[in-house]
Amino acid sequence: MTGVDRVRGPGAVRRSQAARAASGSGAFAIGLERAAEADGAHAAAEAACVAEVAGVALDGVLALQEADDRARCDRAAYLHSDALLAALGELQRELLREGANPPNLERLASLVRSLPRASDPGLRAAAQAVALRASVELARRGFA
């Protein structure tokens, strides 16, 4: 740091003898270079940290999107299986009354063909079991 002899009027400042000697030796410039190197290392470490955090944040966003996609697939499979069960129930009621109605058999066959794949293994197995049961009923009535 530079020293000041005394202030003489507005804005008049002089450096002391010690300050002039220190500035001639370049000690202050070397200190600035070391500070710049330290700042550079700190900036590089900070940039690496930010990149790591950004990578983690991106991974988190992708994981959330993937979880959302899996949930959406599971929901579609659940609703489709529910529709299959409803169609099977309707077929059962028709058989008890007068016999199978061909348009309802067509609807059941369409539901079996368009079964979405669930990401949850348990739900997938249940949906496939319902579809298999519907396929058996369709085969028994000549709708294979």
Q: What is the reported pLDDT for 113?
A: 93
Secondary structure of 104-144 in HEC code, one letter for each residue = HHHHHHHHHHCCCCCCCHHHHHHHHHHHHHHHHHHHHCCCC
What string of pLDDT tens digits covers the 144 residues of the chain? 555 555 555 555 555 555 555 555 555 455 555 555 656 565 666 655 555 655 556 666 666 667 678 888 889 999 999 999 999 999 999 988 888 888 889 999 999 999 998 889 999 999 999 999 999 999 998 876
Q: What is the reported pLDDT for 82?
A: 93
Query: How far does the chain reach from its first CA to its final CA, in angstroms?
Result: 94
